[in-house]
Structure 1
Amino acid sequence: MDAEQCLRAGDIPGARAALAAELKRAPQDVRARQFFWQLMAVVGELDKADAQLKALGGVQASAMMMGSVYMQAINAERLRDRTFAGDLAPKSLVGTEPWVAGLLDALAATIRGAPDAAARHDAALAEAPASPGSIDGTPFEWLADADTRFGPMLEVVIGADYGFIPFAAMNRIRAAAVADLRDTVWRPAEIGLKSGQSSMVFIPARYPGTVATGDPALMLGRRTDWTAAGDIEIGLGQRLLATDTDDHGVLEPFDIRLG
């Protein structure tokens, strides 16, 4: 099987071997190199993904702009990894309300395995406002990440920066259909803020810790699994956005409007 067939079958090692063989035969093959750096991002080998992006810029000048965007995303992913390793404190990119600080403090406590993490989380969550709105025209009373560590906040990458934005600070989030393998790692989306600003961002499409499972279905965002840490539900695989009516995978196209 070729690399694409392997990937469709969920055979990540097979896809990797096929691409490595293609690049050995034809180092200037732009399509294979594009595919390879994205696959390295899927498996969390960020240094190799970065190196392949740089090599791609050397064989196709038009790829340099795209390469710059995703090299920033790779740097942001490193910040994310350090955050969930406990080396960096989770931070808000928008919003300084006490409940935001409280929820980020609770997240840090969960990462550390602090015994009072759930109590901190519940206290902060009790102060968080609901975010009513609609998704693809269907109304909802509240919107949250289905992973209760995050709840009323969205993980985002803006440029080379990584952090959280409260749903309460946004009036719109929309994403088109997935177009490439890299979208299953960094989901392109447009967000509008109630302050009047709008920005193109990446939403990390997979929950932290997904790569460490080694499970191809989770790594490719084809499934979501859940584990419990006390009362806190921790996701692996594709990120889900929850409302009072349904759950929505972030790899689906969506148009969310918030009041």
Structure 2
Amino acid sequence: MVLFQVLCVGADWDRAQAQLRVLGGQSPDLQMLARAYAQAIEAMKARDGEIAEADFTDAPDTPGEADGQRFDFLFDGDTRSGPNLEAIVGGTRRLIPFATILSIDTEGPVDLRDLVWLPAQIRLRDGSALAALLPVTYPGTAAEADTMLRLARRTEWREHGGGIHGVGQRIWTTSTGHDVPILEFRHLSFENTA
């Protein structure tokens, strides 16, 4: 399991998938885990080619709180995600508008693989609940020479084609100026404004 996690942190997806196949043959529990993370790897491999700048024009304010800190709105500091939560749900990468979310809960990082995908429970305004893996780092981070960025220990912001792209740990920005690093929050809730 350790080798699989190290390969994921290094974004060595093909070797990580090979390691998952070995692990999946060891027990039924590991087979389920291997299936879930194989889908997450496929989503990560595909995401670099499909990310475009997010549209902020119709994004409503999203008042709520992050671990007790109130805000009037929250958005991803990276303009490719902006008013959306990037999540892998059922093996598929999705951008879920923050305006459709009631809450996001996580236990924080427990394992090395949680520095790649943070397990979370998402409750939507329509009443549904989603088990999700939240990509911890921004697209392109794995190619960085700086180990602190690759291990989600810090974040850099870079101008790119009229937008701002993050490298390293994902950070949400709030109306209060209080940043919410993805690895540090445990409970994020939005007011039911409907």
Tell whether the structures are fold-level matches, with TM greater than 0.5. yes
CA distance in 2, matches of 1:62, 1:164: 29
Structure 1 stretches of at least 4 aligned residues deviating more than 2 Å after TM superposition: 57-62
CA distance in 2, matches of 1:164, 1:208: 14
Distance 1:145 1:241 in 2: 4
Q: Partner residue of 1:199?
A: 130
Residue 64 of structure 2 corresponds to residue 133 of structure 1: yes
More strand per residue: 1 or 2?
Answer: 2
The structure that is helix-richer by fraction is 1
Q: Distance in 2 between matches of 1:153 and 1:58?
A: 37
* Matched residue type, 1:178: P
1:41 equivalent to 2:19? Answer: no
Deviation larger for 249-258 or 166-175: 249-258
Q: Is the 8 A contact 1:175 1:254 kept in 2?
A: yes
Q: Among the aligned pairs, what percent are the same residue?
A: 39
Aligned length: 190
Residues of 1 paired with 2:100 and 2:93: CA distance?
Answer: 17
Q: Which moved more, 1:211-220 or 1:188-197?
A: 211-220
CA positional deviation for 1:233: 1.3
1:156 to 79, 84, 87: 87
Question: Could you state the TM-score of these two structures normalised by the residue count of structure 2?
Answer: 0.92
TM-score, scaled relative to structure 1: 0.70
1:189 aligned partner: 120
Q: Residue 192 of structure 1 contacts residue 198 of structure 1 at CA under 8 Å; is this kept in 2?
A: yes
The 8 Å contact of residues 178 and 253 in structure 1, kept in 2 or not, is answered as no
Residue aligning to 1:238: 169
**Which residue of the partner structure matches residue 20 of structure 2?**
53
RMSD: 1.5
Q: Which runs of 5+ in 1 are unaligned?
A: 1-33, 85-106, 111-120
**Residues 132 and 36 from structure 1, CA distance in 2 versus in 1: closer, same or farther, beyond 3 angstroms?**
same
> Whose Rg is larger?
1
For residue 72 of structure 1, report the CA deviation from its aligned partner.
1.3
- 2:24/2:33 contact within 8 Å kept: no
